[in-house]
Structure 1
């Protein structure tokens, strides 16, 4: 394998070197104007899929020097204007060109990369995409990723071993979380804890709903959340912010950027801490324990030549927690002190090659490690009661090629290798996953109105059968004020380490959870020790779990009858086979259960999302969102009934029943006001969740009419004053009306006040 990648690197470098040698060069000077000939400042000009990039000055002017002569694809974009795509021919003589941009319908971030793996304007992407810009994040006053995503249409938070994300009715484990296109690892019970991610250095968050397996592989069955970090555009930039709030929550951030000729550097540091909180005043332990965490990241990019760029990204995260737990009953407890450590770091070197005027290559490697160390000590005597370690390694090497054939056709293709390893006492041995993958995507744009994208990905895995994931999407501009979009695709999710190899018994409560591959062995061992009271499912009927598959369909429209009013609607349907869920397999003599994982035959989620934006006056912006969700699983039952002849017979009954922890109705409302004369911004935002199935009290695996929990609504508000475009003071209240639900919504700690100060220097 090592020789293969060395040979690949040699071929790419050689091709890049040969293409540069002897290549004639030219220069390009241009001006970006509005339709009425006014200059556009800070327009983004990219050439050949972002290999060359600059921004326009105060006169709308830009300049590229020492560009290779030949055919180039140029894209010019700016928030508030439709992107301009053009193919230009450069010869040995300097070129001076003028470009005009037309006003666009949606005031959104201009360029996204997650949907197609190449920079594209959000209006041109056929898939349902949501973009949250740095300006929106700043206005909300949030400091962690969980609180930002909680306010978006079609997204809901879940409480299960951390704060997770639910997308179109899928739980947290079905959404891939990435930073700059690289996956984040370290899930507990399938949940990636969104509170691990600070938002202080985020440029934008891109959310793709529906299966993205055709481009991003496993774990993207429900969608992808890609966090794009900030990169400075000036010779020097410094940002400092500090936030203090309820529960002694402190958040400090420092963002530093420097550029010198062909060398870019971006450094970020964040510290976040809290004394924790308890939703039950008389509880012996806290709902969220005291913690302190640190995040550091570094990004650098060096231009080696006109054809070759090198890039490196590194990230480090560390958190410590102090908690209290107990053994026995609440009336006569044996108290325990807990200490927990989380550590997460990643390294990613990348080489960018411009092999020819229309061909771009990217060779990258990504390494990530996530580990935890949790200890429980008796308060009396301080002796060790239990210690648990978890250590996960992830390596991915990938080669991606982008070919712009002309203004009508473009192809993206890639291949790679992944190696994952786990070391933990709760897993048998040291499980290892190895997989190979390849993908290809082609885009056809016959005219400015129609855009069709087709893609296919193949994954070969060491622990389950190979997977093929196709995808097709299209966008059609029916009128200047109406776009139609549709997409269909297949997604998959591979069984993870936990579902295959877990060997865990809770040290304080006493229940056990085993992976499907070692379940029979562990059950028989417990039987031999006399610890099993009852077997709920015959062991000879238990099978190893398979990969989950889905087919998803999205159809939507973007409508703008007036400049100040826009509406986006998306209808979705997801059909899932072999959905993996956990259930009790046996009862133990201590009164607890043994759980394992199995495949459900059929599950579907379907619904509609709508997003309304209205600017009645320039200073006022109102957005409203709504999602209708119907999430059901197939239930097969054998019932004893009386037939037409009066005889008692058994009959199989099939029905589709509601699933737990999914609100059928959710909605949000956001009102933003800008007082320009005083440079004051204020907002109020509300999120409503309809009733949902809380807990399976009778063990039938679906929601009965008496198992629903009432809906709820939360409100947040903030006001900010900016001075000289450098200093900002913000005051805010989260959960304005102090709504809590102990034992259920642990991510809602009650009313929280905060103050935040920001400073920008450049």
Structure 2
């Protein structure tokens, strides 16, 4: 027996001292350990009552399962079996498996000496009392009780429930009985309402109660309620419930929020989170639900950046600087958005950043310095020649001008308006695409020297009010007011602006024989370029449906002797009005099948008022008014299907119809007696029917082919109808990473305009074209090889060799056998051949830096000296033999202040066919400083154009002078506000 006792004692001491010494660390623990040691020593000495006292004291100071075991063992030694049984039950809770086996043996041993009652309650966890409550609780349900044999009443009690008492239970020694008592809850009625629905309501012990909205009974007392829902912040709330009372609880779970700071190396990039526009870089995006989100940063002209971010509640996520890579995409080359290196054409893009840095006032100025482009201002219109194709007084009718793909050329002269006559400012233009070479395969007539497409601002730009005012060129005062209004996701919106400008003009010296003495001298024209102008542009959109509009009005004085009018008289005037409206639907109607349908209308109104030196019937001198009035209306539509049967192949089919019910030209003059003499009154209507197809096939990663053709059918009410088929073929090779080769060829045409076919001033100076034959369309054949090397993601080196053959070139020719020197519009029999070579190195606009250098040589010749020329020279007039430019933008203060400079080299040009004289060399330098105060929405600019005040005369026709002085040094300033 003694051996057994010692073995048990050793086990108790091992169990006790191991974990206790490491756990007791404060004063109570120290005292508890002392009490335990005293108890252990008393136990060894056989003083079990003292041991029991010390063990109880130790457990009160620091409750410990191992001490409970020693208490139970002490009770057993003094034959307190019921108490020993109870403490063994307590000691078993949480004991290791080996210790549980020892305790189970003790419980089995004691079960033979006591009466065991298994007490269970519903719900569990109720306090157990035996006979009377004042003796204290003997544990919590469920629990076995070891009691003295006899009758016992079991009482269970729990907060919020009515106590339950069992009947007297008689249990004998070694017997066991079960008692199962159900507690009746004391409740109040609670109604839960909330937003959103389906919020889960749990009790403080995580037991589910219900889901909102719901009504339920809750037990009285202080109740802690937990409200939770996926994607919402969990909340807890305490509610004191009293018996029989009713309560209403409204629950609103906020979404757990955080924020994210998004910065990029390009400002004003759109920030989309989970497909919704949230702001523009740099920006802190607040109130983001905690969790994972899809972030997309986009800016037109750059590759989209997409990433997954995780926002934490109450924290700001600071992302690293996002690097925006230039995308270099265009749409005008094939009416599909594509990368420049994949587009079947020679292309330059004047970016939004460049337009802002240089503060270009007009399309004309924006084109200066672009590879292959040369300009001239004849004091009425700005003329553009691309790669030598463009003559004085051709009214830009070999250049196609587009607004987001919609034609802006008029339908009488097919003129492209690129100065203040077209737009007072570029506020509604985000970028400009310049396509060099023929584009009839897409656009039909007029797309001969090139295509200029004005790209509108992105729909995602924020709602704003805009205003600006400034001065440009020769004292041009200009103001603009605009607005942007859209919904949150930019799926619907409208934007527009109206601008006005006025100039008192400039003085310029023209060289010609004014007094008729046979010598050429300088004569000053006052008020050159004096004008008033207004324009408005805008667009609206809802989903895939969009509309755009444009209107311009300009009234300009012409003191420069145009068409031999009275020199230096500002009453010689032109008034140009042009309107365009377009409605477009572009959407994907099935997988990989897209449809574009558009309808447009163009209206042009033109008034010319000239004064000539007239002679009355008796030789009286008087100023004779001469008037031309043009009215033109073109309405049309286009439908196109674009299909990708496989990933590497895109097929496009389209048709375009244009009706021209109004092409009215009216010419008259007023005689000495104020009688009106009609010289011309025609309205030669015509219609154009066109059909085209394009194939874009990616043969391999390193090769793709683009082929297409368009057929135009011209149906004229007067004159000869005709048809023209124009193909284009391009092979694009990528022999290695970063290297790109385009081999391109195609055919283009230009139909004679209504003006060229029918204009006459009463046969005083000009006869209609039918006087000397049939006027036929111009035809052009072009071939080009272009190589580009993307040195890295910023720098590109490009070289291009190109050639063009032009046939049936339309120009003013002398009427055969006519002693009065009259002219008509006819086809020049001699073909034109243009050969050229271009070089360009460019650093795309990145982080406020930009650089571009271009150089080119050009040889534009007639294959034979034109019969209409007075010389044997074959050089084409107005075509420079070389060109070059430098553009640079540097940030003086990043995102605050920029310095921009442009240098354009002007090489000599042949002036006219009747002489071999040329213009002079010139270097035109421009410098502009732009800045912004972002927090106030203020932008400002100061600059000087033609910094060196270089005197430059360029070819014009028909004026009393063969050349026209271009703009000298001029200053600009602009201030804009955006709210």
TM-score under structure 1 length normalisation: 0.75
Shift of 1:84: 10
- In structure 2, runs of 5+ residues without a counterpart are 1-263, 286-295, 307-321, 391-395, 511-521, 615-620, 668-679, 954-960
Give me the whole-angstrom Cα distance separating, in 1, the residues matched to 2:696 and 2:570.
59
Q: What's the CA shift for 1:237? A: 2.2
Match of 1:220 among 437, 447, 462: 447
- Tell me which of the two structures has the higher relative contact order, counting C-alpha pairs closer than 8 angstroms and 6 or more residues apart: 1
- Asked if structure 1 preserves the Cα contact closer than 8 Å seen for 2:788 and 2:798, the reply is yes
User: How much has 1:412 moved relative to structure 2?
Assistant: 1.3
Which residue of structure 2 aligns with residue 192 of structure 1?
Answer: 416
Provide the rounded CA distance (Å) in 1 between the counterparts of 2:944 and 2:866: 49
Q: What's the counterpart of residue 458 of structure 1?
A: 711
1:471 maps to 728
Task: Give the corresponding residue for 1:385.
Answer: 625
Question: Within 5 A, what are the aligned runs for 1:142-161?
Answer: 142-160=360-378
Q: Please name the residue that 1:494 is paired with.
A: 751
Alignment of 1:225-374 (within 5 A): 225-245=452-472, 247-260=474-487, 262-280=491-509, 283=523, 285-286=525-526, 288-303=528-543, 309-322=544-557, 337-374=571-608
Deviation for aligned residue 1:566: 2.2
Partners of 2:652 and 2:526 lie apart in 1 by 50
| Matches of 1:158 and 1:711, distance apart in 2 | 14
Q: Is residue 689 of structure 1 aligned with residue 899 of structure 2?
A: no
Structure number having the greater strand percentage: 1
Query: Is the CA contact 1:109–1:131 (under 8 Å) kept in the aligned structure 2?
Result: no
Task: Single out whichever of 738-747 and 727-736 deviates more from structure 2.
Answer: 738-747
**Which residue of structure 1 aligns with residue 397 of structure 2?**
173
Q: 1:124 to 1:676 in 2, by over 3 A?
A: farther
- The answer on whether the counterparts of 2:564 and 2:612 sit within 8 Å (CA) in structure 1 is no
**8 Å CA contact retained: 1:515, 1:597:** no
- Secondary structure in 2 matching 1:137: helix
* 1:717 aligns to 2:927 (yes or no): yes
Q: 1:55 to 1:165 in 2, by over 3 A?
A: farther
Q: CA deviation at 1:191?
A: 5.0
Two-structure CA RMSD over aligned residues (Å): 3.9
Taking structure 1 as reference, are residues 53 and 548 closer, same or farther at Cα in structure 2, changes over 3 Å only? farther
Mapping for residues 399-478 of structure 1, pairs under 5 Å:
399-420=639-660, 421-426=662-667, 427=680, 429-462=682-715, 463-478=720-735
**What SS does the corresponding residue of 2:949 show, helix, strand or coil?**
coil
1:454/1:473 contact within 8 Å kept: yes
Q: Identify which of 571, 583, 590 aligns with 2:801.
A: 571
- Paired residues for 1:350-749 under 5 Å: 350-376=584-610, 385-420=625-660, 421-426=662-667, 427=680, 429-462=682-715, 463-504=720-761, 512-517=765-770, 519=771, 542-562=772-792, 565-586=795-816, 592-613=821-842, 621-635=850-864, 657-676=874-893, 679-698=896-915, 703=916, 707-724=917-934, 726-741=937-952, 743=961, 746=964, 748-749=966-967
Q: CA deviation at 1:204?
A: 1.0
SS of 1:139 mapped into structure 2 = helix
Instruction: Give me the whole-angstrom Cα distance separating, in 1, the residues matched to 2:345 and 2:567.
Output: 54
**CA drift at 1:419:** 1.5
Structure number with bigger Rg? 2
Give the 3 Å change call, closer, same or farther, for CA 38–395 of structure 1 in structure 2.
Answer: closer
Aligned match of 1:48: none
Q: Which structure is higher in helix share?
A: 2
Alpha-carbon deviation of 1:681?
A: 0.7
Q: 2:975 aligns with which of 723, 743, 757?
A: 757
Q: Which runs of 5+ in 1 are unaligned?
A: 1-36, 46-51, 63-74, 86-101, 304-308, 520-541, 639-653
Residue aligned with 2:761, SS: strand
Could you tell which deviates more after superposition, 742-751 or 663-672? 742-751
Q: CA-to-partner distance for each residue in 1:90-127, whole Å, 9 max, x for gaps?
A: xxxxxxxxxxxx989xx656431101111112233232
Q: Give 1:547 shift.
A: 1.2
Secondary structure at 1:211 match in 2 = coil
| CA distance in 2: counterparts of 1:39 and 1:499, whole angstroms | 49
Give the Cα–Cα distance (whole angstroms) in 2 for the partners of residues 734 and 154 of structure 1: 21
How far apart are residue 433 of structure 1 and its match? Answer: 1.5
- Structure 2: distance between partners of 1:587 and 1:276: 42
> 1:632, 1:234 → 2: CA distance?
48
